[in-house]
Amino acid sequence: DAGVIQSPRHEVTEMGQEVTLRCKPISGHNSLFWYRQTMMRGLELLIYFNNNVPIDDSGMPEDRFSAKMPNASFSTLKIQPSEPRDSAVYFCASSLGGRETQYFGPGTRLLVL
């Protein structure tokens, strides 16, 4: 069975550029989560969706970050404009219901120069 799929796996960009990260959750899962991992702050939730609706976006750092889930099988996390401090690993996770075990994708390693 396919797990959570994320693309790209690696992204190197220059400050000021737009970055779009993509996620395909496990088929049948109705909750989707975006996390960010940095050395300084560890793993932290950015936003999560339940049935394609954003439920908690309190972790989104600022207006430069936006996330969408247009349908049950696709979500994007966009950073515009990107800054060097956005460099991190971004994980997408999905679960069968918001209170069930979350399964993580392989992550996207983002480096903003």
The span of 11-19, 21-29, 38-46, 60-68 binding another protein (CB under 8 A) equals: 38-46
Whether residue 81 contacts residue 18, with contact meaning beta carbons closer than 8 Å, is answered with: yes
Q: Is 65 in the site for another protein (CB under 8 A)?
A: no
CB of 64 to another protein, least distance (A): 21
For strand 88-95 and strand 108-112, is the pairing parallel, antiparallel, or unpaired? antiparallel
Q: Of 92, 98, 112, nearest to 33 (Cα)?
A: 92
The span of 14-22, 28-36, 60-68, 78-86 binding another protein (CB under 8 A) equals: 28-36
Bridge partners, residue 54, by sequence: 49
Q: Is 71 in the site for another protein (CB under 8 A)?
A: no
Q: Is 103 in the site for another protein (CB under 8 A)?
A: yes
